[in-house]
Amino acid sequence: MNCRLIRILLLTVCLIGITYPLPAPLIYRAGEGWIYEPVGSKGEWMRSRAKDQLDVALEAFEKKDYKIALRAARRTVSMWPLSDYAPEAQFLVGKCYEAKGNDEKAFKEYQKLLEKYPKFSKREEVLARQYEIANKYLAGKWFRLFGVIPLYPSMEKTAQMFEKIVKNGPYSEVAPQAQLKMGQAKEKKKDYPEAVKVYETAADKYFDRPQIAADALFKAGIAYYKQALKAEYDQNAAAQAISTFTDFIALYPNDQRVAEAKKYITALKTEQARGAFQVAQFYEKRHRWKAAEIYYNEAIQKDPTSSYAAQARKRLEQLKEKGILEGESKPATETQKQPEQTTSTATQNNK
């Protein structure tokens, strides 16, 4: 049904297009693709030397004539790819798309520049521009189809942008922050295990930058914490979070977030107590008394002052009063009846 609808729409567009004369002939040029050239135009913007062609592009860009600037810059790169002017022209291509609001395309053109001309003198500026573009998508900007039709925000694509920035210049000015933002994108996607990996990588790679390493370690702890909140019975994430926050406090005792880290540790211990209490209830419902006793005790041990610890103590007392904890898988009432049955059998034998 959808395919049929698409075909009808395409046919309609074609029929409408046929009824209107094209405003200009369609021309293909290497490096530029298919473009419309005004009737009678002689290509005044075209030049025979790389420098002159780049000058036309720069002049048009200053006048905010991004259409001509883009054409002239693309032609410079296409016709003279090995010239000294090609890298600057490729840079201008990205700036044109950025000025037109097509940030995704601009990012890709900057990526081409860094891959094709790795020794470009303005490399740091290019990385900074890529970083600013990626930040827009991290803030929720939508990716577009053909640079026009809004599709959706994507934290996966955003994380890939930051990853490319880090690979392009792992020790550039923006790389450490890009590594942290990559983790943030993973968090927004709720992929907490991957976020932890990214943050831990940042802490290891940029250990010589205390502020970055501290941020990375603290954020890793928070990612573990969020993962722990999602877990019903697996409390390994909570233990990892406590360990990470403990390391953070030990390594950066003067950091202003130490008090916050301690609060997280307290909350996580309560979370561990909750998990142990739920596991204990799980075993108790199945008459696995010994296992239930172990986990009730663990709930008390993890956070003695929590409400879960209080409930665990109460439940242990109730089970002990009933004598249930004397047996592994049978209720105490059955256990207590066994001696009477044995005595009766022995009496019959004596008779």
CA 244/CA 221 separation, integer angstroms: 5
Strand residues in 195-249 grouped as ranges (E): none
CA dihedral for 26, 27, 28, 31, sign (positive or negative): negative
What pLDDT shows up at residue 319?
87
Whether 83 and 50 have beta carbons less than 8 Å apart is answered as yes
pTM of the predicted protein model = 0.75
pLDDT in tens, 256-267: 999 999 999 999
In a domain, 159, yes or no: no
Whether 215 and 180 have beta carbons less than 8 Å apart is answered as yes
Contacts (Cβ under 8 Å, ≥6 apart) of 60: 45, 66, 67, 68, 69, 72
Whether 244 and 217 have beta carbons less than 8 Å apart is answered as yes
Burial annotation 140-168 (CB, 10 A radius, 16+ → b, else e): ebebbeeeeeeeeebbeebbebbbbbbeb
In a domain, 117, yes or no: no
Between residues 34 and 181, which one has the greater pLDDT? 181
In a domain, 76, yes or no: no
In a domain, 56, yes or no: no
Section 8-36 average pLDDT: 51
**CA 23 to centroid of chain Cα atoms:** 46
* pLDDT confidence band for 4 (50 / 70 / 90): low
What percentage of the chain's residues is helix, strand, coil (to nearest 5)?
Answer: 70, 5, 25
| Structural domain boundaries, residue 207 | 190-255
In a domain, 233, yes or no: yes
No. of H helices and E strands in the chain?
15, 4
Section 12-41 average pLDDT: 50
What token pair was written down for 335?
């256990």
Strands 33-36 and 26-29, bridge-based pairing: antiparallel
In a domain, 26, yes or no: no
The number of distinct structural domains making up the chain is 1
In a domain, 8, yes or no: no
In a domain, 185, yes or no: no
